[in-house]
Structure 1
């Protein structure tokens, strides 16, 4: 199963028909608890159980649950996708346990899709939420965050606290697996984008060693007709181990020509090794200009929970 998705809105809807939650800056997951085992899957249905050993303890809560939520890591007192990036890609169990001690995560649970063998997706959000609260899932590694009646107030508060934004949900809405619905609406404060990598350039420098280090990537956004529109060159956020790890992902994807629909400016294309558009990054930027260029972008991390095919329906905010 894939999670239900929200549409982008300019502001939270008003009225009693809606409820509002904090939009967390993390990794969306479904957590299946059954017969003493826990399986965690990403929104692309990839098994990421090994990456988050903190969630093993959910096996001791109830015999049968399917939870929807967001795994978050805290940096400087607030959830940060950048802080989570190192956790997302760990596949070895022993290493995951070591990393978890240094940088623990918390599962923010916001929906209950199955309980004791009963499929709850056809029930309204209000009924699912009532059951979820009755489960009292409150531990160090998982919690059920509060919901709020005043979306405008929550939007102001989340902006003051440096949080990601607000998700508003219609109280009567069923859960639509894998669907993007106007019954869920998201408003993000931060300008972040999920982009695809179409090429890379080596680190600037005269020494031979610099040619083997990643200096920048050329990224794109969907052009609306099945291709990729060049969105700019990103170098910030690629220093050290992060850049080396990304380069290892890109080298097997090399190709002879640019994957972008339009010609890339010569100043950006110079020295570029083109790659198949298969790697998705999360980037932060001051803005997306009228010419569809990212202004002063910085890489936050690789999005292994998103495929390039999904980007056509993923708007700003990820």
Structure 2
């Protein structure tokens, strides 16, 4: 099963038909518990159970259930995708165990899709939420975050607290697995987005160390338009890891469907657009390029195909 996705909103939905939640700056996870095991799947369906050993105890909560939620990592008490990035791609059980101590995560469970073998996805959100709260899922590694009736107040509060934004959900909505539905609407505060890498440039004075990547966003026609050069945040280990991922993807020409300025293309190594990153920026300039973009982390939970659905975050 793939998770239900939220459409982007330009205002907070009003009225009693809606309920509102904090939008967590994390990684979407489906947690499937059955037969004494727990399997964690990313939004793309990848098994990421080994990456988050602190969630192993979910297997002991109930005999059978399927939860939807987000894994978050805190930085100064605030969820941060940058803090989570080093946890998302870990495939070594030993390294994951070490990171679980130094960079622990919390699973924010916000929906219940199956319980004791019964599929709940056709039930309204309000019924699923009622059952979820009755399960009393509380520990140091997972929790059921609260929901709010006052969406405008929550939006203002999350902005003041430096949180990512809010998600509003229609109380009567069923769970539309794998679909983006207007019954769920997201309203973020910060200007961060997912981009695809189409090339890289070496660090000044080096021929091998990565200094910047050339990134693109969806062009609305199945391709990727050039969106600028990202260098901030790529020093040291982050750049080395990204360089290793890009090396097997070399190609002879730019993969972007729009021109790359000569000053950005100079010395570039072009790659197949297969690696997705999360970047923060100050929006776009008059030419459409991202203003002062900075690397936040790899989006191993997303594929380039996911970016074509909608400008996503």
- The TM-score by the shorter chain falls in which range? over 0.9
Deviations 1:122-141 (A, max 9, x none): 00000000000000001000
What's 2:53 paired with? Answer: 53
Task: Give per-residue Cα distances to partners, 1:226-261, cap 9 Å, x unaligned.
Answer: 111000000001011111000000000000000011
Q: Secondary structure at the match of 1:38?
A: strand
Q: Deviations over 1:189-241 (max 9, x none)?
A: 01011000000000012xxxx21101000000010111110000000010111
- 2:310 counterpart (301, 304, 314): 314
Structure 1 match to 2:77 = 77
Compute the displacement of 1:162 (Å): 0.1
Counting matched residue pairs gives 313
Q: How does 1:163-312 map to 2 (within 5 A)?
A: 163-205=163-205, 210-312=206-308
The equivalent residue for 2:128 is 128
Deviation at 1:291, TM superposition (A): 3.0
Q: Secondary structure at the match of 1:260?
A: coil
Distance 2:306 2:24 in 1: 20
Rounded Cα–Cα distance in structure 1 between residues aligned with 2:173 and 2:212: 43
**C-alpha separation in 2, matches of 1:16 and 1:292:** 39
Shift of residue 20 of structure 1?
0.0
Which whole-Å CA distance do the structure 2 matches of 1:299 and 1:62 have between them?
A: 39
The CA RMSD over aligned residues, in Å, is 0.7
TM-score (norm 2): 0.99
The farther-off stretch of 281-290 and 232-241 is: 281-290
Deviation (angstroms), 1:148: 0.1
1:26-37 equivalences in 2 (<5 Å): 26-37=26-37
SS in 2 for 1:304: coil
Residue 104 of structure 1 corresponds to which residue in structure 2? 104
2:21 paired residue number: 21
